[in-house]
Amino acid sequence: MLEKEIEARVCEYAREKGVIAYKFTRYVIAKNGKPLRKWMPPLKGKNEWRKIGVESGWTVCVCNDISEAVLPVDLDYYVREVEKITNCLG
């Protein structure tokens, strides 16, 4: 199955459920958010779609439009990410 066929099926399913689906999702790590999962097609020889956690262990606020960014940003996440980068430089 081609990627564009998968995308069309996922978007159709989302519309049926009343959810807007985007190929690219913009988000911030946010307090009181929800987990974000990416749906992947089945592996060769398998039939089940796979759920992959995006930023596992953290919750997000999806904000494809900046006006949708209504939850408080979880600064602890961003501090940890900056520390990871600066520790490598040092």
How much is the pLDDT for 77? 96
Residues with Cβ < 8 Å from 36, sequence gap 6 or more? 25, 27, 53, 54, 55, 60, 62
pTM for the complete prediction? Answer: 0.68
Q: Which residue has the tokens 């990871």?
A: 84
Residue 72: CB atoms within 10 A of its CB come to 12
Q: Are 72 and 32 in contact (CB under 8 A)?
A: yes
Q: What does the pLDDT look like over 1-59, one tens digit per residue?
A: 677 787 777 777 777 877 666 677 889 999 999 999 888 888 999 999 898 999 999 99
| Total count of residues recorded for the chain | 90
Residue 20: the pLDDT is 67
Both structure tokens of 40:
């992947």
What is the C-alpha separation between 59 and 31, in angstroms, rounded? 7
